[in-house]
Structure formats: C-alpha cells, structure tokens
C-alpha cells in the first residue's frame, strides 16, 4: 500500500481527461495533484503518450523537485508546478496544456478581454498574459523562472490566485489551477472555450466592448459570492 | 406514479441532447418543458453535469418559481423560463446554452443578419440581439429581468415568439423555444449553425447582402405557410 | 421483389453517408440515384431525420416529378433533381447539402477560386456560384427554376457538367453530382473541404494568387486525363 | 514469409493513423517506410480508401521507382518519396497529406512563422514553403521534380532535413519525414497544429512578433539538445 496512492490516482484521472476534452495531442500537457500534509505532489512523467499512461507511471516530487516516488522522469515543467505550490498555499492542482485557442492568444501576447457572462461566471478580470521572460532568466533555471514570471504577473496586476485561476505565458501557453487536479483541468477547458469565444467576438465586431462592471459582479457573485445560488450548495 | 413524469422525462431527454449536439460543456445550459394544464414546468437542476444527470434529478417549478417536485435546486436561470412561459402562452419548451458561435454574436452585441435559405427555412427576420440590461435591473431580480429584456426586445422590434423562436441576450448567450422541449433544442442547434455560417459569410465577403425578400418568403412559406410542402405533413 | 430495389438501396446508402461525413444536421440535405433505363430516380423523403431513415422510406419519382413508388412525400427539392437528370444525360446521382463552408461561400455570392492542387485534382475551374434567381422565377415553379438557374450558370460560363461536378446556388447552398449517388456524395465532401481551404487561404493571404494554368492541367490530367496514373485504373 | 513484411507493416500502421488523426479524407495522403539495407521502401497504393486498405495492399518500390513487391500501383507521389530517400540518407519515413491548415498556408504561398514554444519544441526555423515549380518542370517528370523542389528549397534556405522535418509545397500541401514512418506521421500532425495556431495568432494580432532567439534555443535544446531533459531518455 503506497502512501501516495490517492494523489497518484487523482493525478492520473485528471491527466486522462485532457485528450477526452480535446485539450492535448500526443504527449503535450501535464497535470499535478498536491498533498499539502506530506509536502509533495504527483505529476505526469515526461514524454509519455496518454494512450499508454498508467497510474503507476505517475511520479511524486517534493517542493524542491526531488523525486520521492516513481521510476520515471517527471514532466519537464515540474519546477513550474513546484514553484506555484510553494508560493500559493491554497491551490491543490495545476494543469498545463497547449490547447489551440489559449496558445494562440499567448502567441499574440495579449490578455483575453472579458466580453461576456461565460467569462464572468468564472473570473472577473481579463485573463492575464504574462510577458515573455528576460533572456538571462531563460538561460537560467527556465522552468523555475516560469513560475516566478506567473507570480510577478499576478503581483503587478494585483490579481489573486484564488479569484483568477488561469494565466497565459506569452509565446508559450496556458496554466490553470484550482482546489484540486480535477478543477485545474476544468479551468483549462473553460479557458479554451473563453479564448475561442473572445477570438470569434473580435472577428465579428473588432470594437466589441468589455462586459460592464455590473454584469461582471452579478455573474461572478451568483456563482461564487457569499449568497451564491448556482449549483447545489455542497 | 408521479403526476409530473411526462414533463420530467421530456425535460431529461431534451437536456441530454445538448452534449450530443456539442452545444454545451460541463454543466452549462438548461432545458425546460411545460405542462400548461398544471401550470408548472420541469427544468434541469443547477450545476449538475450531464454525464451524471438522472431523470429523477429534474425539478418541477410553478410560474412563481416555487419548487413543487424534486429535491434539488433548479437551474439558476429558472426565473427567466418562468417569465417567458407566463407571458408567451403558446410555447412548450425553452432551451438556454452557451454555444460558441451564438455566444460570440451575443458578445459582439449584434443581430445575426439573414444571409441565406438555411436561415429563411426557420425564420424571416434577423436573429435579434437584446441590448445589455440597465444597471438597476441587473442589481434587482436579474433572471426575472432577463425575461423582461427578451419581451421588451420582441415588442420593440415587432416580433412574434411564434415566428421567431430564438434570441440572443447581449453579452450573455442564446435562448430558444418551441412547441415542446425537443423543438427548443432543435432551434438552439439551428441557431448555432446559422450563427456560424453568418460569421463565415462576413469573413469571406464583408459586404455580403441580406437575403432578398422574395427568397425569404418563399423558403419560409414552403416550410411553414398554409400551403407548406416540406416534410410529411403530419 | 421491387424493381426499384437497387436505386433505392444506393440512394439510402448515399444519404446515410451525409451525417457520417458531417455534411448535414437533422433533416437537411438529400441524395438521389437515377435509373436511366426506367427513367426514374430514387430520392430521400422530405423532412425525415437520418437517424430514423429506412430504405423502404425512399421514394421513386419520374422525370416529371410523379411518384411511382413509395408512400412518403419526396424531398422538397425533387424538381431540381428531376430537371438536372432530364437535361444532363450522363449524371447518375445528385447530392444537395447545407454544409457549412459551401453555404458560407454561397451566401457571400462568390465563386470559389482555384488556389491549389486539392482543387485541381477534382476540377480545373473555379467552383461557380449561380446568381440568386429573379423574383418572378422565385414566385413561379421555384425548385424547377433552381435547376434552370444551374443550367444557365453552366451555359453562361461555358462549363461542362462532366468536368465540373459541383455548383453553389447563391444564398442557398451546394449541389453536386457524379456517375452515381456515391460519387455525388464524394463530390459534396470534396467541395466542403475545398471551400474551407479557400476560406482559410484568403484569411492568411488576401492576395493569394489563383493556381497557375500548368499546375491546374497537370493535376487534373494525372487523375482524369487519357494517361491518368492515379488510382488502380479500374 | 515475405522479406518486406516489416516495412509493409510499419507503412500500413502509419497510413492507418492518418484518418484517426483527422489528417485525411477518402484516399488523400500517403506514408512510406524505408529499408535502407535493401534499398527499397513500402508505400500506400494509389487511390485506395483507408477503410478498405489492407497490409497486403502495400507496395514495395526501389529508389528508381521500380515495384519489387505487391500487385497494386503505388501512390502517384512515389517518385517524390524515392527522390527524398535517395538524397537524404538519414530519413526512415515520409508522410504526405492534404491536411486543412497546412494546405491553406501552402496555398497562401507563405512560410509559417515561428510564434511560440509549440513550434520551437519541434524546430527552430519557420516552416518553409517551397515556391511553385517552373512550367517546364511541371510538364516534365513532375513528381520527381517535386522532390528536387524540396531539396532546392532546403539548400537555398540553408536548412537541414535532420533539424527541419517538414515542408510546404507552394499551392499543393505538406510533406513531413522522420526517423521512421510513425515519426513522419507525428510530424504531419504537429505541423497541422502549428499551422492552425499560427493562423489564429495572426487573426488575433496581425503584428504578433516572431519568437525571440533565446526562447527558440531553450525549447529546442531541452527536447533535442545534448543535455535534453524532456522524455524518458530512451
């Protein structure tokens, strides 16, 4: 009986959702699930296709990127996950994909404007696009610095990772997170949908206005506020 | 034997069509089915994923939004459904989705122009986009007022809900209805297709003209006029 | 043993390909298969969903649109099929769809320019878009006149229905044909692919040039010329 | 026991991936697998639909295009494959498709700019688009000359077929290759994804900048450099 079975299983299930949701092809993408008590997280092994991924392939790593369980090499993005878990104490899962529309906005180096209630049901801000990294940081500890880049972006824009559970890395692609690995995948899918709708909105009307503040607050609050009445309240 | 079994079953079947038709992801969207004799309608419970939805989860509500059957909380959009059933006596089902192209036109805050016979086979007018709501109404009884907003839009434009069975709510997304829940879902799918074609038409030719009146009448009448010859006449 | 079993079966199989190839939703579209010896053709009944279509539902009609076999009402587009069979003696099947990209070009009222070898593998001309019909013809025998409209378009442009097996009806959508019903469906799918590629080509490069004459001839001849070397030669 | 069974089987499996990956419709596309020791390669027969393709249909051809095994006529693009195998000694498989986005860039006659890390994970250069062929070459040995055209493009741009495993033929479509047939198909799928993302990137931001050199090097090296740490290192 492995003490990490629960997070390995959560991590495996969440990773397997990615191809089903059309968020990845081949080996692209990775999801992790944290165990705060033990100070470790489970993550997809690097370069393994989803079709052949097994739960026992999942690697367990501590916040200093040391493998504590598993025989395979963890995702090449592991240090970014570790950095975010270390600095953001309330997140339980992280998901990174190269989903088409989110990557396209990241390559365009633009925030995704909040245009409608689909967006406001999930967050009240534009989805931030972190600026490409300085050359010195790229040549340094790149994946660690990607985590730093996300943190800097949130600090500069005054965003909270509890309210904004997704980000674009300029020129690269999206990261999303949440209370657990499954929610992180959910946020990745929602981000892809919002990215697609925002793209189409601007094609139809290049002068489409941002959603007004009163509608942003209304939709966010009815789902996430203290008097929320969306869902079954449990 | 539950007296609401028939509308609950209709409502369940209609809701389950939404993911099959690629009109929703996760818990987005909701369909209802009315029983005019009893003055109630069956609607999807709030926040329940389609994959786990069961017919016994369906909630029955009266036109004053009081739950009369079912243990779950009804859709957060219930008041909009109730409002429309109360004011439009001839509709039997309502469907709300966040389908991609319809939402994008709604976010662009533009009516969908009638460009071809696919559109005219179903309605003779541009698909109306209701203006975003005044702030005071948003902060008031929001979902009730969304119904009012639809009604106002139809009155202002002189449209009949029997002839135009679909609308876009500016910044939000589409509502469609029909003689029953299944027809409401059908109209939602047709709307999504029309929205996609109109988008592509304008990308190919930004000066594409509206369909001329004679063709609008011809296609609508051959399907819906008193001498209609489309379908099996039953 | 019904004397029309063969064309009814061909017609049924060809119609059932349409939803599989993503060329139709619901009851949109219709395919027919001709029997030249008997002077009749088999066609889809009007308004019947593909999911419930059975081979015995297929209707057999002569070139004057008289039903000679079957209990259902034939497609509302039957007269267009009859007209084309009567005037073009070498075609064996006809397919009409509302496929997304072909309809969008038809709504844009533009010919689809020949941009590449995918197009030239199938035809050497731009895919013609017939102009919308005069009002007097719309109010007359509309579906018959749609056939006339196609014929006029081909005569005016000097096209041969043996070389160009597809057309767009302005504001409406595509018709395609071929030596049999299955080839007509094939041409409908190819048209949709070409329409999509041409759309994307112009979005990427609004000044993309037409394919040059030497490449048009080369690709068409290697597949269809007297020294063709594509396929198994049977 | 046929001495070509291994490459025929590899070739068959690789061809059958194309429809699964949505890279082809009908008979479009072809993959080959080489046996360097025997100086031959296995390739798809011409014009055979994937649904009915069997491993025994695969044709084996030498580098002078002579069939050495199999009863069917090989792909009409066989001479292009032979040419590339002859001149590029390190490639083990070749794949040609008419995938939608790659063809659209080819029809636009434009290189696909490197916009992000999805691209840099696979190659460090823009994906080259070879210029359309001179008329004299088209009328000559066309498929042989298509190989020449690819070689000329790589020489002119100073590219290595080991580093850049894909190309667009202007007005035609993509060719990709790799250490074996399966890798050639992988590269075809990656090319299609990159082509789609680059298209969307330019629609969102027509002034999107190319990826900067430091990020190009970083992403390529972490996957392909001497200190690569992506994958399981085997």
Query: If you measure CA to CA, which chain B residue comes closest to A215?
Result: B138
Residue A190 falls inside a structural domain:
yes
Cβ contacts of B105 on chain A, cutoff 8 Å: 204
* Cα distances (Å, whole numbers) of residue D44 to C91, D77, D103: 31, 10, 21
Q: Shortest CA distance to D119 belongs to which of D159, D62, D165, D151?
A: D165
Tokens 């195998």, residue located = D85
Q: What is the mean pLDDT of chain B?
A: 95
> At residue A226, what are phi and psi to the nearest 5 degrees?
-70, -25
More confident residue, D81 or D233: D81
Tokens for D131, please give them. Answer: 């210029």
pLDDT in tens, A119-139: 999 999 999 999 988 999 998
pLDDT at C222: 87
CA distance C52 to C72: 14
What is the nearest CA distance from C226 to chain D, expressed in angstroms?
15
pLDDT > 70 in chain B, percent? 99
Identify the CATH number of the domain in which residue A169 sits. Answer: 3.40.225.10
Residue C150 falls inside a structural domain:
yes
- C-beta atoms of C197 and D104 within 8 A: yes
Domain count, chain D: 1
- C-beta atoms of A212 and B45 within 8 A: no
Picking from D118, D211, D232, the nearest residue to A73 by CB comes out as D232
CA distance B153 to A220: 25
pLDDT > 70 in chain C, percent? 99
Tokens for B21, please give them. Answer: 């038709």
Q: What does pTM read for this prediction?
A: 0.96
List, in sequence order, every residue forming a beta bridge with B174; answer none if it has no partner.
B168
Pair A75, A30: CB distance under 8 Å:
yes
What is the nearest CA distance from C115 to chain D, expressed in angstroms?
6
CA distance C222 to D59: 20
Q: Shortest CA distance to C72 belongs to which of C42, C33, C51?
A: C42
Q: In this structure, how many other beta carbons lie within 10 angstroms of the beta carbon of residue A76? A: 20
Q: What is the mean pLDDT of chain D?
A: 95
Residue B234 falls inside a structural domain:
no
Report the number of secondary-structure helices (H) and strands (E) in chain D. Answer: 8, 8
pLDDT at C1: 57
Pair D142, D54: CB distance under 8 Å:
no
What is the nearest CA distance from B30 to chain C, expressed in angstroms?
21
CA distance A61 to A39: 9
pLDDT at B219: 87
pLDDT at B152: 96
Residue A227 falls inside a structural domain:
no
Pair A175, A147: CB distance under 8 Å:
no
Residue ranges in chain C assigned as alpha helix (H): 5-20, 78-87, 100-108, 117-120, 135-139, 142-157, 181-204, 213-224
3-class SS of residue C77: coil
pLDDT exceeds cutoff 60 at B234 = no
pLDDT in tens, C82-117: 999 999 999 999 999 999 999 999 999 999 999 999
pLDDT in tens, D38-90: 999 999 999 999 999 999 999 999 999 999 999 999 999 999 999 999 999 99
**Would strands B30-35 and A173-178 be described as parallel, antiparallel, or unpaired?**
unpaired
Tokens for C133, please give them. Answer: 């019909």
CA distance D38 to D56: 19
> At residue B148, what are phi and psi to the nearest 5 degrees?
-60, -40
Q: Shortest CA distance to A132 belongs to which of D198, D190, D213, D123?
A: D213
- C-beta atoms of A117 and B199 within 8 A: no
Residue ranges in chain A assigned as alpha helix (H): 5-20, 78-87, 100-107, 117-120, 135-139, 142-157, 181-204, 213-224
Instruction: Give Cβ neighbours of residue D36 (< 8 Å, ≥ 6 apart).
Output: D89, D92
CA distance C95 to C183: 9
pLDDT > 90 in chain D, percent? 90
What is the nearest CA distance from D126 to chain A, expressed in angstroms?
15
3-class SS of residue B177: strand
Residue D226 falls inside a structural domain:
no
pLDDT exceeds cutoff 90 at C234 = no
pLDDT at D234: 54
Helix H or strand E segment including C104: helix C100-108
CA distance C101 to C196: 6
Q: Shortest CA distance to A118 belongs to which of B11, B169, B150?
A: B169
B5-19, C192-206, C220-234: least confidently modelled range: C220-234
Tokens for D172, please give them. Answer: 């035609």
List, in sequence order, every residue forming a beta bridge with D59; answer none if it has no partner.
D43
Instruction: Give Cβ neighbours of residue A145 (< 8 Å, ≥ 6 apart).
Output: A133, A137, A138
> At residue A39, what are phi and psi to the nearest 5 degrees?
65, 35
Tokens for C110, please give them. Answer: 């533009």
Pair D177, D162: CB distance under 8 Å:
no
Cβ contacts of B110 on chain A, cutoff 8 Å: 204-205
Position C219 confidence tier, pLDDT thresholds 50, 70, 90: confident
More confident residue, D173 or B133: D173
pLDDT < 50 stretches in chain A:
none
Tokens for A230, please give them. Answer: 């969306």
- C-beta atoms of D98 and C115 within 8 A: no
Residue B211 falls inside a structural domain:
yes
Query: If you measure CA to CA, which chain B residue comes closest to A223?
Result: B76
D220 is catalytic: no
Pair A49, A24: CB distance under 8 Å:
no
Residue B230 falls inside a structural domain:
no
Query: If you measure CA to CA, which chain B residue comes closest to A209?
Result: B108
Pair A19, A50: CB distance under 8 Å:
yes
* Cα distances (Å, whole numbers) of residue C124 to A137, B136, D106: 55, 61, 18
pLDDT exceeds cutoff 90 at B149 = yes
Mutate which: A51, A74, A104, vs D, most D CBs within 10 A = A104
pLDDT at A1: 56
- What is the end-to-end Cα distance of chain C in Å, rounded? 31
CA distance A125 to A3: 39
CA distance C6 to C1: 11
Tokens 């399907």, residue located = B223
pLDDT in tens, B69-108: 999 999 999 999 999 999 999 999 999 999 999 999 999 9
Cβ contacts of B231 on chain C, cutoff 8 Å: 27, 46-47, 73
Cβ contacts of D49 on chain C, cutoff 8 Å: none
pLDDT at A105: 98
Residue A137 falls inside a structural domain:
yes
* Interface residues from chain D to C (CB-CB < 8 Å): 25-28, 45-48, 72-73, 76, 98, 100-101, 103-110, 132-133, 135, 138-139, 142, 171-173, 199, 202-203
Cβ contacts of A132 on chain D, cutoff 8 Å: 212, 215
CA distance D119 to A172: 9
Tokens for B164, please give them. Answer: 């135009």
* Domain enclosing residue A83, as ranges: 5-221
Position B223 confidence tier, pLDDT thresholds 50, 70, 90: confident
- C-beta atoms of C218 and D108 within 8 A: no
Position D119 confidence tier, pLDDT thresholds 50, 70, 90: very high
pLDDT > 90 in chain C, percent? 89
Residue ranges in A21-141 assigned as alpha helix (H): 78-87, 100-107, 117-120, 135-139
Pair A154, A162: CB distance under 8 Å:
no
pLDDT at A230: 85
pLDDT at D169: 97
């Amino acid at each position: 009986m492995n003490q990490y079975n629960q997070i390995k299983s959560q991590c495996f299930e969440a990773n397997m959702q990615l191809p089903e949701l059309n968020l990845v092809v081949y080996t692209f993408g990775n999801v992790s699930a944290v165990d705060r008590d033990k100070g470790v997280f489970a993550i997809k092994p690097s370069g393994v296709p989803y079709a052949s991924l097994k739960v026992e392939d999942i690697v367990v790593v501590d916040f200093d990127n040391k493998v504590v369980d598993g025989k395979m090499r963890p995702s090449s993005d592991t240090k970014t996950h570790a950095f975010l878990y270390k600095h953001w104490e309330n997140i339980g899962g992280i998901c990174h994909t190269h989903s088409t529309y989110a990557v396209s906005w990241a390559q365009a180096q633009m925030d995704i404007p909040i245009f409608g209630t689909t967006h406001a049901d999930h967050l009240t801000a534009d989805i931030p696009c972190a600026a490409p990294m300085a050359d010195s940081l790229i040549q340094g500890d790149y994946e660690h610095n990607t985590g730093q880049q996300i943190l800097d972006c949130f600090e500069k824009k005054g965003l909270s990772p509890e309210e904004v559970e997704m980000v674009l890395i300029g020129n690269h692609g999206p990261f999303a997170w949440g209370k657990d690995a499954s929610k992180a995948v959910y946020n990745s899918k929602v981000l892809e949908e919002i990215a697609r709708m925002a793209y189409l909105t601007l094609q139809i009307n290049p002068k489409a206005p941002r959603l007004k503040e009163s509608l942003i607050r209304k939709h966010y609050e009815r789902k996430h506020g203290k008097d929320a009445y969306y869902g079954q309240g449990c």
